[in-house]
Amino acid sequence: MTDKKKAIIVLDMGTSAFKCGSVDLESERKVYAADEKFDLYQNGDICESDFDICYETALHVLTDVIDQTLKLSYNIKGIAIASQAHTFAPVDKDFNLLSKGIVWLDQR
């Protein structure tokens, strides 16, 4: 019996989209890739994102890539997550959200 091919999953958390793909560890070639955008809410200097929508979008694109990679007979050896800029959530003392996530493009 031959060993399964090995892949790693990479998820990039962008400002308005999640990009995800799998890479064959031996050939270093793309196995499968997907991306999905999500809305930013901009009004003047305000730039926000909805964390629930971001989470659902990330989960959807990551699940798609994992499922397709497994269907192609790969053994997933790990998941890497990358992000360049930051979004943060303002919370109260009990960690209740005070507003949507404030995106790095926000000018407040």
Question: What is the average pLDDT score of the chain?
Answer: 91
Kindly list the distances between the CA atom of residue 70 and the CA atoms of 12, 27, 57, 77, in Å, as whole numbers in the listed order: 20, 17, 20, 11
pLDDT tier for residue 107 given thresholds of 50, 70 and 90? confident
Buried b / exposed e along 58-77 (16+ C-beta atoms within 10 A): beebbebbbeebeeeebebe
Distance between CA atoms of residues 51 and 59, nearest Å: 12
- Structure confidence at residue 51 (pLDDT): 86
Looking at per-residue pLDDT, the higher value among 105 and 66 belongs to: 66
Looking at per-residue pLDDT, the higher value among 106 and 86 belongs to: 106
